[in-house]
Structure 1
Amino acid sequence: MQELNFPKYEFRFKSNENKVSIFDGIRKKFIVLQPEEWVRQHCVQYLIQHKNYPQSLINVEKELKVNGLSKRYDIVIFNTDGSIHLIVECKSHNIKIDQTTFDQIARYNLSLNATYLMVTNGINHYYCRMDFENERYEFLKDIPSYIKSTN
C-alpha cells in the first residue's frame, strides 16, 4: 500500500480469496483493504496513539441522515457527555482534497455539530475548529490532544 504521512503503525492483515483485509480495532472485524481504508486505519491509530483519544470514544463508518439522505461518516470522536468532539473525513491518497471535500464534511456537521473537523487523504491533513456563532470554520495547525474531563 501507499506510504502515508502518518507515523508507522503495526496492523493485522489476513488474505482471503485474493483480497487482503485489515483488522479494525474499533469495529472489531477485518475490513477489505482499500486505499481509503488504509488512510482511515492510520488516522484512527494517530488519534489513539498520538492524540491520546480513548478507543471507547471513537466511532468508525456509521450512517447519519443529512437532509433526509443517508450518508456515512468515516471517524467520529465523542465527548464523554455524548456530544461530538471531532469528525474526520478520509479520502484515498490519490484523491485531491478540495472545496468539495470541505463542503461534504461541513454538510455532515450540520447534523453532528462537532467542535473540530479533520480532512485527510493520508498525505495532506487539514484541521478546523468550528465557530458556530459566526457560522464559519477556522483552520488550525493540528487538532488538540485528548484531555480527560475532571467533571
Structure 2
Amino acid sequence: MQALNLPPFEYKLTQSGENLLIWDVLRRRHVVLTPEEWVRQHVVHYLIGHRGYPKGLLSLERGHRYNQRQKRTDLVALDAAGTPLLLVECKAPTVPITAAVAHQAATYNQTIGAPLLLLTNGLQHFCWRVDFEQRTNTQLAEIPEYTSPMQ
C-alpha cells in the first residue's frame, strides 16, 4: 500500500482468497484492505497513539439518517459523555480533498453535530472547528489532542 502522510503503525495483514485483509483494532476483526481502509486505519492509530483519543470512544462506520436516507460516517470520536467530538471523513489517497468532499462531510455533520471535522486522504489533512451557533468554521493547523468536558 501507498506511504501516507501519517505516522506508520504496527499492522497485521492476512490473505483470504483474493482479498488482502487488515486487522481492525476497533471492530476486532480483519477487514478488506482497500485504499480508503488503509487511510482509515492510519487515522485510527494516529488518533489513539499520537493525539490521545481513547480507543473505546472511537466509532467506525456509525449509521445516521440524512434526508430520510441511511448514511455511514467513516469515523467518529466521542467525548466521555458519548457526544460526538470529531467527525472524520476518509478518502483513498488518489481521491483529492475537494470542495465537494468538504460539503459531503459538512452535510453529514449537520446530523452528527461534532465540533471538530477532519477530512483526509492520507496525504492531505484538513481539520476545522465548527461553531454551530455562529455558523462558522475555523481551519486548524493540526488535529487537536483529545479532551473531554467530563475529564
TM bucket (normalised to shorter chain) is over 0.9
User: Secondary structure of 2:82's partner?
Assistant: coil
Deviations 1:90-115, CA, capped at 9 Å, x for gaps: 00000010011111111111111001
Matched, 1:76 2:51: no
Aligned twin of 2:106: 106
Superposition deviation, residue 76 in structure 1: 0.2
CA drift at 1:80: 0.9
Determine whether 1:11 maps to 2:11: yes
- Alignment pair present for 1:46 and 2:46: yes
Alignment RMSD (CA, Å): 1.2
Q: How many residues align?
A: 151
- Equivalents in 1 of 2:112, 2:45: separation in Å? 22
Q: Name the residue aligned to 1:56.
A: 56
- TM-score (normalizing by structure 2): 0.96
* Separation of aligned partners in 1, 2:47 and 2:110: 23
TM-superposed deviation, 1:136: 2.3
Please give the secondary structure, in 2, of the residue aligned with 1:103. Answer: helix
The CA deviation at 1:48 is 0.2
Q: Is 1:23 matched up with 2:23?
A: yes
**Segments ≥4 residues shifted beyond 6 Å:** none
Deviations 1:40-80 (A, max 9, x none): 00000000000010001000112211111111100000011
Contact 2:62 2:72 in 1 (8 A): yes
TM-score (norm 1): 0.96
User: In the aligned structure 1, how far is the partner of 2:55 from the partner of 2:120?
Assistant: 20
Give the C-alpha shift of residue 134 in structure 1.
2.0
